Chains A and B, each alone.
Chain A
Amino acid sequence: MSHTCLALLQAADPNLPPVSGMAFYLFTILKMIVIFTIYMVGIAMLTLAERKISAWIQDRHGPNRVGKGWLQPAADGLKNFMKEETMPGGVNKPLFVLAPILSFIPALTAWCVIPFGAPIPTRWGRIDLVVADLPVGFLFILALTSLGVYGIVLAGWSSNNKYALLGGLRSSAQMISYEISMGMSTIPVLLLAGNVSLNTIINQQVWGGWNVINLTVAFFIFMVAAFAETNRLPFDLPEAESELIAGYHTEYSAMKFSLFFIAEYGGMVTASALMATLFFGGWDVPFTARDNIGPYSGWLSLLSIGIMLAKMLFFIFLFMWVRWTLPRFRYDQLMSLGWKFMLPLVLVYIVLIAAVMLGLSAAGKRPGLMYASILGSINIALVIILFVIFDRGRLISPAYGRMDQREIDRLRRIDRRRILAAEAGR
């Protein structure tokens, strides 16, 4: 056993062929089981992380009773299994049961095309750390995430509850609107990589620099759209509890409710993995090319998995951080942000990046340091234009109300007068 382990971790021939035949099926099943287990346990731990981080941001303790808080996910899971499955009157039974399943499966299935580490060499051949390396990798994820809306819409419709229906309708409108920006924002990434397979995109970033530098604006649009697609604050209108009780899952209890919860966290994990892969170099170990061209080794694969995990955890933390930082959008703000701002912006951006790439290739520039720095400086200029000039008082500020300097001065004068009046009264 220890011999096999050592053999697994030793450096191997870079031209090792991928595993084939029976070993391929066995390793694929093994990868599926491992990913499913880690995914489910990870999501359980994320519920704890969400509550702990919320508590930390709000300066309180958070869950600290069941096993000092660490066993809280297990207790929650047990509770959800033991609870009564309610079936309200007038529901459409088949669809009511189908809806949680339909929202859970796409979130889980998306993981089968995300590469999460450098290949592992074994005596049977090279094992690529991705369950299915489809030639259409990224489009497969887009297709699956576009299906997540079915679960929510059907839950809202079949519940026979007006709040649930409103939540479902909101969610379908929201997800369709932001799906377009999300898909469009990745077109510059695909243009740079020249392919839609996620491993090609990672490889391109190894030699051409992280896409967050090359395509900063695309990253911002993708991130905002990802928040909307996963129904997280500030875009959690489908379940806005102050308006809709709990939105589309109002009528659900026990494990069916839990499946919606798992699907939401699963969507978050997938979005984090996508942001890390498309814009932050994925599993690539920085400043070394050994993990990309070999000789591969088990240790290097472990390190690359750790790097991928660290990047994903950062984005998951970002999701939770934003939840307690930004208030919920109003519905008209959500729609105008999606259709009137992000869609035109991303269309202009695609044309611009395509023109720059055409110009660079006409000038004979190859992807590399020079190429990346030209793209990067264009993006920095765009970001400055976007966030400093265009945005002032138009998009971000409605969250706190538009105020110019005169208004602030007037308010200050009122305050001063009040103080004076109070003093005079005394």
Chain B
Amino acid sequence: MEPHYALFYVFHFYLFGVIALASAIAFVTRKSPVAAALWLVNTMFSLAALYVMLDAQFIGVMQVLVYAGAIMVVFLFVVMLLNLGDPSELADARGKGWKFAAGLVGLGLLSEIMVILRTRLPQQLIVPRDFNEQQLQKLNAVGTIAAPLFKDYLLAFELTSVLLLVAIAGAVVLARGRPEDAR
């Protein structure tokens, strides 16, 4: 790999990584729900940029199209319609004990990542360096994802869609309320 290409790559990796982390921190610390939602959108953009740098253009575009373009818009829509009241009452972790527990969980996850970083990757996960480019040539951007999804992992894919359907049905049932309330 030529040195100037590597520098270009590394620079953008850290650029988008820092933006993603900073936006994520801003997302959890902002009091206003609208501002928090926008910082989350920013995080998703940076993640999309990182996916594109990994030659996963399709996943990058889907990240923007589905998360930033659809889900977060609906989220904003709901936030604007509901009058959410004082932010301090909305917080999930209210007492000191909860905050301490959350910090512990965070530390646990961090140490887990540290351990994983030091282990060797299993041989099946390592692909040749130009694997992505070969796949793009052979199957184009969508086929690279679609072929394994609909051939190798079809059962898992269909089960996931059933799971989503259950979630939708559950949301509809919850939104309609109990029959006693209606009477």
Binding site for B on A (CB under 8 A): 92, 95, 134-136, 139-140, 142-144, 146-147, 149-150, 153-154, 157, 165, 168-169, 172-173, 175-176, 179, 194-197
Contact = CB atoms under 8 A, between A and B. Distances in A.
Contacts of A92: 34
Contacts of B80: 153, 157, 165, 168-169
B46 to A, nearest CB: 14
Contacts of B35: 95
B34 A157 contact: yes
A134 B64 CA distance: 15
Contacts of A172: 73-74, 76-77
B81 A169 contact: yes
29 contacts: A92-B34, A95-B38, A135-B57, A135-B136, A139-B142, A140-B61, A142-B61, A142-B65, A143-B62, A146-B68, A149-B69, A149-B73, A150-B76, A153-B73, A153-B76, A153-B77, A154-B34, A157-B76, A165-B80, A172-B76, A172-B77, A173-B77, A175-B73, A176-B73, A176-B77, A179-B70, A194-B140, A197-B140, A197-B141
B58 interface: yes
Given A135-B140, A173-B77, A196-B140, A147 B68 contact: yes
B112 to A, nearest CB: 32
Interface string B53-90: 00001101110110011100110110011000000000
B41 interface: yes
B77 A139 contact: no
Given A95-B34, A176-B70, A143 B64 contact: yes
A197 B142 CA distance: 10
Contact of B41 (A95, A140, A150): A150
Given A134-B57, A153-B80, A146 B142 contact: no
5 nearest interchain CB pairs?
A146-B69, A135-B141, A143-B65, A143-B64, A139-B61
Contacts of A197: 140-141
B141 A136 contact: yes
A154 B80 CA distance: 10
Interface of B: 34-35, 38, 41, 57-58, 60-62, 64-65, 68-70, 73-74, 76-77, 80-81, 136, 140-142
A294 to B, nearest CB: 21
A147 B81 contact: no
A196 B69 contact: no
A99 B175 CA distance: 32
Nearest to B69: A146
A150 B81 CA distance: 15
Q: Chain B's interface: helix, strand, loop or mixed, by majority?
A: helix
Contacts of B74: 172, 176
Q: Residue among A95, A136, A153 with the most chain B CB within 10 A?
A: A136
Nearest to B65: A143
Contacts of B58: 136, 139
Given A135-B140, A165-B80, 20 more contacts: A136-B57, A136-B58, A136-B142, A140-B61, A142-B65, A143-B64, A143-B65, A143-B68, A144-B64, A146-B69, A149-B69, A149-B73, A150-B73, A153-B77, A153-B80, A157-B34, A157-B80, A172-B76, A195-B142, A196-B141
Contacts of B142: 136, 139, 195-196
Contacts of A179: 69-70
A95 B32 CA distance: 12
Nearest to A158: B34
Q: Residue among B35, B65, B136 with the most chain A CB within 10 A?
A: B65
A183 to B, nearest CB: 8
Contact of A143 (B69, B136, B140): B69
A146 B142 CA distance: 19
Contacts of A136: 57-58, 60-61, 141-142
